Amino acid sequence: MAEQRLSFKEMCAKFEVTPRTLRYYEYIELLQPEREGRSRFYGARELARMTLIMRARKFGFQLEEARQWLEIYEQAGTQTQLKVFVDMADSKLLELQDQEQQLKQTIEDLKGLRQQTLQEMNKFSK
């Protein structure tokens, strides 16, 4: 059975990215499509890598972090890559939990300021 290959346009559509984004991922060597003349084709390896890149972006990881994580697979294999991912996820979770607390505080501060402003407005309408 032949390996599934996507064209450049199909890859953009599948992952809902712009052509500019896909070209950038190639430029920074996150992806290495097969080339036939001027056409690019993406096989199973590139589809898997793009899936992981998109997940990394969704969870707030930087592209360089995604690159390092993908490189670990190439150099040390799945087991090491999975361990590193758990460590990265733990670190990201702490960061996100801190941001969540900051957002909660900001929301409470804004609610308080809004209430104070309403009270000031009521003074003028009497």
68 vs 65: CA distance, rounded Å: 5
- Polymer length in residues for the chain: 126
Is residue 62 domain-shared with residue 89, that is, in the same domain?
Answer: no
- Predicted confidence at residue 98, as pLDDT, reads 97
Are both 93 and 65 inside the same structural domain? no
What is the reported pLDDT for 6?
Answer: 96
Rounded Cα–Cα distance for residues 12 and 125 (Å): 57
Same domain for 88 and 58, yes or no, is no
Q: Show Cβ contacts of residue 104 under 8 Å, excluding neighbours closer than 6 positions.
A: none
**Whole-number average pLDDT of the chain:** 93
pLDDT at 96 over 60: yes
Check whether residue 72 and residue 86 sit in a common domain.
no
Q: Per-residue confidence at 2, pLDDT binned at 50, 70, 90?
A: low
β partners of residue 79: none
Tally of domains in the chain: 2
List the CATH number of the domain containing 10: 1.10.1660.10
pLDDT at 25: 96
The residue to which tokens 């009497």 are assigned: 126
Residue ranges making up the domain that contains 55: 1-76
pLDDT, tens digit, 9 for 90 and up, residues 30-85: 999 999 999 999 999 999 999 999 999 999 999 999 999 899 988 888 899 899 99
